[in-house]
Structures are given as structure tokens and as C-alpha cells.
Chains A and B, each alone.
Chain A
């Protein structure tokens, strides 16, 4: 097969919509995705030969059908993109084979080993992952993310425990709790950190909600399921501690005061064997950052988001983004952004002329504006209060589970080295972020702690340098061996 015009990274809503749009307009597209089947986390499909559980999303089905029927789309499943190379102007085009001018190298690892794709444009739709929030006991077996629990239920029809507590600050918790109840699980309590009065929508919120009937219906439906099952949903409640040996047996919940901090003397111990946490999501920007795309700090949108223009093009030519990488906003907005970014790529590659691209983009932009109005309201209401969450951390709390670095280690390192104050510098001194997960699980908590201890803002603390491979690759697969890993 000849080199693709476009590599789309990720087959969630944004990637599917982008692939469908690109293919329909004559682009040769390769979609690379880590899952066995397209759909991403949200439209996750059960394994082949497995009866889909009730309640699969019809929107997902339509989009999947549209994307898989689009011409010119090649799917690389079970494959990781671990780097986008050749994006920077540089001086040594002299060492070894280079991709033809105007093409990047997208380095992948999958069932056939390490392979290079050399597209003219790259569209990153890598999605998001659960925001990790460290607190005492958060690394115990039995403490899971709401997204993880949902995956068990959705993809496998499995219940990973007997007594569930769901805690955090994201509406997804209600949806997952309802899914658990429907699947027959015993949900002991749903604890939301936001106080009820802070969640009531203002006039702007009500107006925006008019454009998002589906989302609101989903939430209302979930609340009804929970009420009918007698599951208490408590607002203004935070999980301060998880305990058990060796597995989780109890969580400690406390009331949240007006400052966002737990009120002393309100602790309650609740027995359970699964704690599902949902504080929101972190955009998976590591590949974009590795490729050199500029990012900006936007806390309500999930933290570091990729800077982009009106066609969703990044600061690096011929690299565009769509979906959660522009700010966490959910599947529906991701899908719309996927279409818009695809139109922008088609325009830049000369596969659509300017007039046609602008015309096709017009209704997409209108839809996007409508979605964004609603999402902004939700984000503001459910945005994590990072400083308050950071106060749950004690010196004993593990921040980096791969390297077992505790908050106290970081505190001591900063006290001993008062001239240090960036994520990279603290990583180097403490090893936090140097493990197998490459910092995905500790970076937000670590950066918050550095911020608290040094008084420096998130932009000054920065993030870990993103280097290829952004996901681990077996050394053997990288070595030359008998046949060189040819570009295809």
C-alpha cells in the first residue's frame, strides 16, 4: 500500500468522524488505534462473539457504521503510535534515509512490530484518561477509576466487586453508578465533591442546556435509576482515605466546607470493596507535545490542552487535533471537532478547495458552537478544585506508584533544593514520573504539590518533557534484526 495522505491517531468519536470525512473526500487514511476494535473508550465495542450489553449508544453505532463504510480508510488495530518524528526544522538531513519532503514519520508498534508510516498530515485524536487524584490509600487494590469500572461493565459484562462506592466530582459517576445498578451491583453511595447549591444552573446554563437535551436526559435518567434503587447520592462529600489490608475494605468520606476543604469531625467510614473515582479527565496530549505542538494550561478543560486555530491546526504545520486534546468536552463535541479538523486537513492537502471547505465547515461550526456553550457551563460547574484536592495528600501518600515516591519525598527534595521548582527538575531529583506509566498517573498530582509548595503557577511548574516512545516499546522490536523495519 502506498503511503497514506493522513494518519489519524485514535479511533474514538473524533477519530471515527475524521476518518469518515477524510475518506469520503478522497484522502488515503490510516487510522491507528490501541484497541482491538474501533470506538474508543466511549463507544467501546465488546470482543467479537460477545453479546452487547443493554444500553449501547446508538450514536456510537451510527458513527462506527459511517466510518467503517468510508472508502480509502485503512485500520491498524491493536497498534500504538509512540512518536511523530521529523516535525522540527533541523540541520542533519544527512544521516540515513529521510522521509520524502513534506512527510512526517509516524512510528508505530503493533502485532507486526515496529513500523513507520509517512503521511503528509497527522490528525491527533488520542482522547483523555481519568484524572488521577492522590489521597491516602488511593493505590490500594480495589480503588479503581470510574472509567475503568465502566470498561469492565461495558466491554466484559463484569462486576469487579460486591459493594461499590463511587466518589469524585464528575457527572460520569452518576452514569456509571446507574450502569452498575442495572448490571445488578450493590452501590452503597455516590459521593460528589460539589455542593448542591454550586451545581444549580444560572440563566446562561439553562439556555445552553436547551441545546444538549441528550446529555441532560442521560443524567436525569441515571438519577432516576439510582433513586429507585435507593442509592444515596450525596453532594458536598469527598473521599479522604481508603483503607484495607491487603485489599480495600473501608473508605472515609467527609463533608466539604465552603472553601472546598473537608470539614473536620465529619468523617464517616463506609465499608466497600470497590471505590470508583471520577474527578474528570486529562487530555492525552503526550504525543502532541512530543511532536512539538504548543500547549496551554486550561484547568477546567482538563489541564494542558493543545493550542489550535479555527481549523483545529496545531502550532506544527500539518498536525491537527480534535476531541479531548482541545479540552475535555465529551463524545458529541469530539465527533463534531473530528469532522471540522478533517475538513481543515483536506483543505491544506488541496483535496478540497477553499470555497468548498469553508462551505462544508459552516454547519459543522454552527453545531460546534452550540455544543461548546453547553460544555462550558458543565466544565465550570464540575471543574476540579485542584488546590483543594491537593490538600488531601499527606506526607505518606504515594504520588508516583511506579517508583513509589511519596509526597513527603517531594517535600523534602524541595526543601533541600530550594532552587528547584519545575516538574522536570523534581522528576530528576526524586524519580517521580520515571516509571512504566511514564508519568501519566503522577504528573497532575505532582505538579499540584510543587505548585502548592513553591507558590509557582502551573505554567511555571510545567510538565514532564514528552519524548518518544510515549508508550513503552520492546527493545527487541526497535533493533534492526534481520530485516529493517521498512516504511510502508
Chain B
């Protein structure tokens, strides 16, 4: 049995970044990942760094938007985190912060855009609504149907293929122990420690036991399952999403494109492929009537069509072939706010998921690591605390 200061469960962006921060602070860290590093949502999302409120947060009216806006302080923090991460890691991860646009094509959408911008400015986000010749000059690639766009200068993209592996390597350099192909099968409080049992696959006979003072749940859609091992109910829900990639083409799309009235996120990678996503659902696969998290969601034809159709706001994309689609799962919370912080009544158990988890991953990781090491954070994270769902847990 090996003892660690902290066990991090999950080898995605969040887990690897948390392990990196902790190991750098001198913690003895174990990171366990049931598949390969970056295998799930962190490597499957399209790498948007969006700091504006997303379509899903404004589509249900002003009250819902106002509630979702409570995550904006984290987005501002994330903007700074992404600006420096490449320097800190000493390698390129495809971070590009050339700005993002949220498009509007009708007067009603412009009205939403204006209200959204006003709300975002309350939190200090630098957002401008561009229209007319100013917008055409800034983004000549847009279709004529686009009437206005909310512009945030620091938005952009990171390369999801590169970020998480770079963080994993960095964690390893500071001594974190990475175990892949290693599934958590049990999580129990034993005296002042957490006992973590792991297995290696079907049957999990060749299991191991590890001790850790603190445990960080960084399991994405598996968060509820992991928390349940510690007899904690967390209301997080999987959603299947669809992304498409076109063949490579010359660079013509320097900005992150979203739409205020429809599901769309679009960007051109540094390799030249255009990635299209933005919340088009994929079919969660079931087994015995229950969601099967171990199987990738199935592509829905309607989502691929919707995905392709949404791209018409940038006509040049229409001439490219789709060479790949993929599906993945991400985690939703009931109020679209992040779930971030210490789990009540389980000393030493921490969690983060939900929200815009790729964009916010570095920020979640930094705050969690600080909490683990010092017991406090440099900003209030009460709004995101798991304690808001404390009523679900009686013991």
C-alpha cells in the first residue's frame, strides 16, 4: 500500500492540471485514469476558449442568463490562466487569443446580444457589439445575413490534442505518479485518510490499494459515480455532443465564432481544419435502460445536419468536405454553474466539473490545488460550492 498526499481521479485537463499544480507545490500526488490521458471530454471537445455567455445560457431568458453569469468571475480568471500557461509549461499548446464573435442575424437576436453584453460588462468583461461596416472590416468572411456580433478580444482556442498531454508531462516532471488503464473501484474514509482501491479492467481482480490525505474528483461525466463511492450524491448529468471537422484549408477564419440564437461554435485550427460544434446533441447509449457512460454516444443524423447548416454564417466553410465527426460527453449541473470546491461532510474530498469545463479547467485546477494545500482560495467560490446540493445528502 502506497501513501500519497493527494490522489487525483481522472486524467483529463482538470486532473492533469490539478496534479501539476499540486506536485509543483511539493505534494506527493497520485493521478489515476481508467483509460488513456486525454481520452475523454478533454481531448474530444473542440478547444474553444469562450468567455462570453454561451447560447445555452441565454436561450432560456434573462433570469437564467443572470444566474449563469455568476460564473463570469471564473471566466475572467481563466482568460489570464490561458494567457500564461504556455510559458509556464515551456511548450506550445496551440493557445490563440485572437478574439471571439457571437453572431446575431435578426433584430430579436441583436436585442439578446445587447442585454447579454450589458450583463457581462457588470462583471468586467470587455465586450463590444460590432455591426455594419465595422463588423465587415473586422470579419470579412461572414455571410451577409449576419447583422451584428458581440466581440470579446481575449477569446480564442487552445489545442485539445496538446494541452492535456503537456500538463500530464509537466505533472510527471514534478514527481506526480501517473497510472493509466487504472480504474477506481472503491473510495472510503479510513480514519484520517482516504483509501482508494483501483483495478485494471473487467473483473478488477488484480486490484491495488492506495492511501491519500485528500482526494480530488476530476472525473467529468463519471463524477456522480465516483462521488457515490464515498456515499455522496452530486447532481451532475451527462450530455452527448457532436463535433465535425472539415478538411484542411488555407487560414481564413482567425476568430472563435458562436451564435447568440443558435447552436454553433466554429474555429479554424492552426493545422487548417475548421471545427464545428456548439451543443448539437449526440445520442447517449443505454445498457439495460440506463445511460452507458462507457460507450461513446451515437451520432444523430439531425445533429450532423444542424452542425453543417449552422456553418452557413461563414460561406467559405460550405465549400469544404467534412472528413470526420466525433461525439463525446460533457457534464451539466442543474443551474449550469460550475461544481467546484470541498464536498461537505467528507473532509479532504474535493470536486470540480460542470460549467465551461475546458475553458475553465485551468482555473478549477489552480483553485482546487490551492484549497488542498492551504485550505483556502484567493477568490470566493461559494457560488459554485457542492454545498448548494448538500440537502441531497443525509449522512
Q: Which residues of A contact B (CB under 8 A)?
A: 83, 85-92, 95-97, 105, 107, 116, 403, 416-417, 419-422, 424-425, 428-429, 431, 434-436, 438, 465, 467-469, 472-476, 478-481, 485
Say yes or no: B300 contacts A95, CB within 8 Å.
yes
Q: Judging by beta carbons under 8 Å apart, are A417 and B168 in contact?
A: yes
By a CB distance below 8 angstroms, the chain A residues around B299 are 83, 85, 467-468
**Neighbouring B residues of A419 by C-beta, 8 Å:** 36-37, 168, 178, 180
**Beyond known contacts A428-B43, A429-B165, A472-B322: 6 more, CB 8 A cutoff:** A90-B284, A92-B283, A95-B300, A417-B165, A419-B180, A475-B322
Most buried by A among B287, B306, B319, B323: B323
Q: Which residues of B contact A (CB under 8 A)?
A: 36-39, 43, 161-162, 165, 168-169, 178, 180, 244-248, 271, 273, 281, 283-287, 291, 295-302, 304-309, 311-312, 317-327
B277 to chain A: closest CB distance in Å?
Answer: 14
CA A83 – CA B300 in complex, angstroms?
11
CA separation between A343 and B332, bound complex, in Å? Answer: 48
B169→A90 contact, CB < 8 A? no
Q: Which of B37, B180, B300, B326 contacts A85 (CB 8 A)?
A: B300
Which residue on chain A has the smallest CB distance to residue B162?
A429
- Chain B residues near A88: list those with CB within 8 A: 283, 285, 295, 298
- The answer to whether A473 and B180 have CB atoms under 8 Å apart is no
Bound CA span A135–B324, Å: 27
24 A-B pairs, CB-CB below 8 angstroms? A83-B299, A85-B300, A88-B295, A89-B285, A90-B286, A92-B281, A403-B271, A417-B169, A420-B36, A429-B165, A434-B324, A465-B326, A467-B326, A468-B299, A468-B304, A469-B322, A475-B322, A476-B308, A476-B318, A476-B319, A478-B307, A479-B312, A480-B305, A480-B309
* B304 and A472 contacting across the interface, CB-CB below 8 Å: no
Partner of B300, one of A96, A473, A479: A96
A87, closest chain B residue (CB): B298
Main secondary structure of the interface of A (DSSP, over half): loop
Q: Contacts A91-B283, A91-B284, A416-B169 known; A479 to B36 CB distance under 8 Å? A: no
**For B309, what are the chain A residues with a Cβ–Cβ distance below 8 Å?**
478-481
CB pair B165–A90 under 8 Å, yes or no, is no
- Contact residues in A for B246 (Cβ distance below 8 Å): 475
* A96-B300, A480-B309 as given contacts; A436 in contact with B38, CB under 8 Å: no
Are the C-beta atoms of B38 and A428 separated by less than 8 Å? yes
Say yes or no: B317 contacts A96, CB within 8 Å: no
A480 CA / B322 CA spacing, docked (Å)? 15
Instruction: Give Cα A474–Cα B322 distance, bound, in whole angstroms.
Output: 6
The answer to whether B308 touches A479 (Cβ under 8 A) is yes
A472 to B319: give the CA distance in the assembly, Å. 12
Given A85-B301, A469-B322, A485-B305, answer yes or no on A429-B169 (Cβ-Cβ < 8 Å): no
Are B284 and A436 in contact (CB-based, < 8 A)?
A: no
B311 near A479 (CB under 8 angstroms)? Answer: yes
Q: Given A89, A95, A107, A421, which contacts B36 in the complex, CB threshold below 8 Å?
A: A421
Q: Is the CB of A116 within 8 A of B301?
A: yes
> How far does the Cβ of A260 sit from chain B's closest Cβ, in whole Å?
31
Which of the residues A403, A420, A422 comes within 8 Å of B165, measured between beta carbons? A420
The 9 closest A-B pairs by CB, nearest first: A478-B308, A472-B321, A90-B283, A479-B309, A96-B302, A479-B308, A425-B36, A88-B298, A480-B309
Expressed in whole angstroms, the Cα–Cα distance for A478 and B284 within the complex equals 22
Q: Is the CB of A429 within 8 A of B161?
A: yes
A54 vs B318: C-alpha distance when bound (angstroms): 45
User: Within the assembled complex, what's the spacing in Å between the Cα atoms of A419 and B164?
Assistant: 12
Nearest-Cβ distance from residue B294 to partner chain A, whole angstroms? 12
